[in-house]
Amino acid sequence: MQRVIIDCDPGIDDALALMLALSSPELEIVGITTVSGNVSADLGGRNAKKVLRQMKRLDIPVYIGEMKPLKVPYTDASDTHGRDGLGESFLPEVQGDFPGISAVDFLEGALDEEELSVIALGPMTNLARLFQKRPDLIRRIPRFVSMGGSFRSHGNCSPVAEYNYWCDPQGAEVCYDCAARAGKIIEMVGLDVTRKIVLTPSLLSYMERLDPETGSFIRRITRFYMDFHWEQERIIGCVINDPLAVAYFIDPSLCGGFDAFLTVAGEGVCRGQTVVDSMNFWKKEPNSRVLADADVKRFLRMFLSRLIPGAGDLAYLEQLYRMEY
């Protein structure tokens, strides 16, 4: 059992990632912190609670984080995730207050208490603020997995940048710089691998057939996202980035990659681009593990079988996989 903190911006794929994490016996989620990204950190907090209610885990605390990036103006992704951040499903609010401390204060206190791994699924503003105050705490994070960036794949919010690192490029850079100074590695689950993870209408129907309650919840929050993918990229289905970061944290053999020094462009046309020194021109120690390939079939088996008991039936999955991928 690995005790982790999940930092996120729910967000539709964040919601699916939380569902996977909550369905995985290997993880004990000590707390969820939200950050402005897909939606504002406070709306993300309300959405995280809606997912916790769906999963019957409202015992897990949710802390609201930074409302805007370190330097650049805040730009949300409501065009992709809907005005409510969960695909305009407009799920009823969860009553109850949030803890009286901020996400950054929670992170500082928790890491002072014990070593905890971090799975970051949104812009890295909270973590950057933490490391600006306490750079020593990165050493208290055994594994730091970040969904973000891109090595060779094109961007998803500019020709070269992935949204999380584009939304707060200085936040991402502060984290990778802190990792470099501490001799730590941030495991970057970027678009090179997450683009391979597409939730298709057939997979969704399969999930609904086996578990109507969970399946209909997932359909309700992904419908808008699927429409967006068709309109923007003529994709039938939707790319679910964040669940791969959780799955990879649980089973690192799902993805392959390499260690390299990485920095993040902060300004101009390349804002948010991850500059990966894969040929070691700069002779700097690695501060990242760049994931470049993923075993899609094994991911699907983990994702489906954990969210929907019985959905991991290999024979049917093989048939579905051959049809879909």
Token pair belonging to 6:
């999940």
Contact call for residue 164 and ligand RIB (CB under 6 A): yes
Q: Which stretch binds ligand RIB (CB under 6 A): 8-16, 89-97, 252-260, 316-324?
A: 8-16
Residue 32 or 317 having the CB closest to ligand RIB: 32
Q: Shortest Cβ distance from residue 168 to ligand RIB (Å)?
A: 11
Query: For 312, which DSSP code?
Result: T
Residue 162 or 173 having the CB closest to Ca ion: 162
Residue 164 or 263 having the CB closest to ligand RIB: 164
Residue 151 or 225 having the CB closest to Ca ion: 225
Q: Shortest Cβ distance from residue 165 to Ca ion (Å)?
A: 11
Closest CA to 174 of 70, 259, 278, 67: 70
Binding ligand RIB (rule: CB under 6 A), the pick from 14, 173, 187, 192 is 14
Token pair belonging to 82:
């809907």
Which residue's beta carbon is nearest to the bound ligand RIB?
163
* DSSP sequence for 183-205: T--EEEE-HHHHTT-EE-HHHHH
Q: What share of the chain is helix, strand, coil (3-state, %, to 5)?
A: 45, 15, 35
Helix (H) or strand (E) segment spanning residue 316:
helix 314-324
Question: Mask of contacts with ligand RIB, 229-268, x by CB under 6 A?
Answer: ------------xx--------------------------
Contact call for residue 186 and ligand RIB (CB under 6 A): no
Closest CA to 107 of 169, 175, 58, 53: 175
Contacts of 31 (CB under 8 A, 6+ apart): 5, 6, 60, 61, 62, 63, 106, 110
Interface positions with Ca ion (CB under 5 A): 9, 11, 14, 121-122, 242
Q: Which stretch binds ligand RIB (CB under 6 A): 97-105, 156-164, 257-265, 317-325?
A: 156-164
Name residue, tokens 């008991």: 309
- Burial profile 27-36: b = 16 or more Cβ within 10 angstroms, e = fewer: bebbbbbbbb
Residue 165 or 261 having the CB closest to Ca ion: 165
Binding ligand RIB (rule: CB under 6 A), the pick from 55, 116, 118, 147 is 147
Q: Which stretch binds ligand RIB (CB under 6 A): 7-15, 27-35, 103-111, 277-285?
A: 7-15
Token pair belonging to 59:
């015992």
Q: Shortest Cβ distance from residue 119 to Ca ion (Å)?
A: 11
Residue 147 or 308 having the CB closest to ligand RIB: 147
Cα dihedral 162, 167, 173, 178 sign: negative
Contact call for residue 156 and ligand RIB (CB under 6 A): yes
Contacts with ligand RIB by CB under 6 A: the residue count is 15
Between the alpha carbon of residue 228 and those of residues 11, 70, 141, 271, 278, the distances in Å are 14, 29, 36, 24, 33
Let me know if 124 is exposed, middle or buried by CB neighbors in 10 A (0-12, 13-18, 19+).
buried
22-41: contacts with ligand RIB (CB under 6 A): 37-38
Q: Shortest Cβ distance from residue 8 to Ca ion (Å)?
A: 6
Closest CA to 80 of 223, 234, 228: 228
Contact call for residue 13 and ligand RIB (CB under 6 A): yes
Token pair belonging to 181:
């100074």
When CB distances are held under 5 to 8 angstroms depending on the partner's kind, the choice from ligand RIB, Ca ion, none that residue 173 binds is none
Q: Provide the binding-site residues for ligand RIB, judged by CB under 6 A.
A: 9, 11, 13-14, 37-38, 121-122, 147, 156, 162-164, 241-242
